């Protein structure tokens, strides 16, 4: 007969065993859910990372100006080029009447000024500008850009640039040697332009919004529309073409388009991709997509290598010999390697990308040989992917 304490201990042990078993089952279930959905969650991309919103875009600006204050590294003005004409025109506007013979300084350079006006930039905000030499100036280091209007594609002035040019490169030259690092004829001015004109775009009152896919694809466009409809609980999104998804603003988001875009861009979908092989013949780089497949095909690769080596020897008569001449006897050795050891390899149908790469690597091929083989497989109709050669 078991005592009461022993019976209580057995009951407690049984309850603990059931608790541990239940905990292990829960952990196993969580692990299975993570294994099935974790990879999809990691592979899914946010809509904001694969699309752009129509109308939310930058605008390119360009202008022509002068950089002054250079240490003799500016444009040559002896021949009366556009730099000299621009300097004369500027000085005339400032009330100075110089003569053309007096403009011989090399401290001025004509430059092109470029900038990108971000979307919804307001008057008084600043943007960065890039300054690039237009003439024969050798260095813009230490120069100052004078007031330069920046024009848009419509010819209107949207910003005005001015400031000290920051140059990352330099050039040093001596009598017998010179060194150049970077590009000293191009520089940048941080916050060097002030926005004077805004680009009108009323985002808040839009009745529909268009999403443009960075990589157009029918399947991806439909998945985006389905994800938006599922989130909003209404059929407000539809894919009009492989690169466009149109979203009607629902009543709950009227005059709150920014809130709608904020919610939509955080949704995650699995982008689809075209089976494609990209080849850069110059550098020997090969990039294969995940969906690349190959039908059953046999591959053999061989190179013919001929190696010729010369080792001439000198033949001369013995010491104190009365006859004989010293001559050079040629010795030529020829080796031929026709790669007889390379065998015909069979690649089975429906292989995955990893299996294809492993099979090509097993043949002992370099990138150049792989490029030729991939082109031959494509010509044979066994490569089920788009072959793009850069």
Structure confidence at residue 197 (pLDDT): 93
Q: What is the pTM of this model?
A: 0.66
Among 163, 195, 227, identify where a domain stops. Answer: 195
Give the number of other CB atoms < 10 A from CB of residue 192: 25
pLDDT in tens, 295-316: 777 766 665 454 556 677 777 7
pLDDT in tens, 234-277: 999 999 999 999 999 999 898 889 899 999 999 999 998 888 88
Question: Is 45 a member of any domain?
Answer: no
User: Do 107 and 67 lie in a common domain?
Assistant: yes
User: Do 123 and 167 lie in a common domain?
Assistant: yes
Asked if residue 217 lies in contact with residue 272, where contact means CB atoms within 8 angstroms, the answer is: yes
Pick the closest to residue 54 from 240, 223, 227, 266 (CA basis). 240
User: Domain tally for the chain?
Assistant: 3
Pick the closest to residue 388 from 276, 275, 274 (CA basis). 276
In sequence order, the β-bridge partners of residue 181 are: 170
User: Do 184 and 225 lie in a common domain?
Assistant: no
Structure confidence at residue 368 (pLDDT): 74
Q: What angle do CA 147, 152, 156 make, to 5 degrees?
A: 75
Structure confidence at residue 28 (pLDDT): 43
User: Do 214 and 236 lie in a common domain?
Assistant: yes
In sequence order, the β-bridge partners of residue 66 are: 110
Measured CA to CA, the distance from residue 357 to residue 350 in angstroms comes to: 13
pLDDT in tens, 63-91: 999 999 998 888 988 765 888 888 888 88
What's the domain range around 355?
277-313+328-389
Structure confidence at residue 212 (pLDDT): 94
pLDDT in tens, the chain (390 residues): 445 445 455 455 455 555 545 544 444 444 434 433 444 555 688 999 999 998 888 999 999 999 999 988 889 887 658 888 888 888 888 888 877 776 778 899 999 999 999 988 999 999 999 999 998 898 899 899 999 999 999 999 999 999 999 988 777 777 667 777 778 899 999 999 999 999 888 888 889 999 999 999 999 999 999 999 999 999 999 999 999 999 999 998 988 898 999 999 999 999 988 888 888 877 777 888 777 877 777 766 665 454 556 677 777 777 766 677 777 777 766 665 555 555 545 555 556 656 766 766 776 667 777 778 788 888 888 788 888 887
Question: Is 369 a member of any domain?
Answer: yes
- Residue recorded with tokens 């600043």: 126
Burial of 212 (0-12, 13-18, 19+ CB in 10 A): middle
User: Do 104 and 123 lie in a common domain?
Assistant: yes
Measured CA to CA, the distance from residue 164 to residue 143 in angstroms comes to: 6
Q: What is the CA radius of gyration of the chain?
A: 37
Question: Is 77 a member of any domain?
Answer: yes
């Amino acid at each position: 007969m078991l005592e009461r304490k022993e019976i209580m201990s057995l009951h407690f042990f049984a309850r603990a065993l059931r608790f541990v078993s239940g905990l292990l089952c829960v952990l196993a279930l969580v692990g299975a859910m993570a294994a099935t959905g974790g990879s999809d969650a990691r592979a899914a991309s946010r809509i904001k990372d694969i699309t752009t919103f129509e109308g939310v875009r930058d605008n390119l600006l360009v202008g022509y100006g002068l950089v002054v204050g250079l240490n003799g590294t500016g444009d040559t003005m002896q021949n009366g080029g556009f730099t000299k004409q621009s300097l004369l025109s500027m000085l005339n506007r400032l009330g100075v009447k110089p003569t053309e013979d007096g403009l011989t300084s090399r401290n001025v350079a004509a430059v092109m000024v470029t900038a990108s006006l971000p979307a919804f930039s307001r008057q008084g905000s600043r943007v960065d500008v890039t300054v690039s030499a237009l003439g024969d100036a050798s260095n813009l280091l230490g120069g100052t850009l004078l007031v330069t209007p920046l024009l848009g594609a419509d010819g209107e002035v949207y910003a005005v640039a001015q400031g000290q040019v920051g140059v990352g490169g330099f050039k040093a030259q001596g009598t017998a040697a010179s060194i150049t690092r970077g590009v000293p004829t191009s520089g940048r001015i941080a916050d060097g332009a002030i926005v004077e004109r805004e680009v009108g775009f009323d985002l808040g009152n839009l009745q529909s919004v268009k999403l443009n896919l960075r990589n157009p694809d029918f399947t991806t466009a439909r998945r985006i529309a389905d994800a938006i409809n599922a989130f909003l609980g209404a059929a407000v999104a539809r894919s009009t073409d492989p690169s466009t998804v149109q979203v009607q603003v629902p009543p709950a988001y009227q005059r709150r388009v920014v809130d709608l875009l904020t919610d939509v861009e955080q949704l995650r979908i699995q982008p689809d991709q075209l089976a494609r092989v990209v080849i850069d013949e110059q550098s020997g780089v090969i990039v294969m997509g995940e969906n690349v497949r190959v039908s059953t095909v046999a591959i053999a690769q061989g190179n013919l290598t001929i190696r010729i080596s010369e080792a001439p020897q000198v033949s001369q008569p013995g010491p104190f010999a009365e006859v004989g001449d010293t001559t050079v006897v040629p010795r030529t050795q020829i080796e031929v390697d026709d790669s007889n050891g390379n065998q015909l390899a069979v690649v089975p149908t429906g292989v995955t990308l990893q299996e294809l790469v492993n099979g090509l690597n097993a043949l002992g091929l370099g990138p150049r040989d792989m490029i030729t083989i991939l082109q031959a497989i494509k010509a044979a109709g066994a490569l089920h992917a788009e072959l793009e050669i850069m």
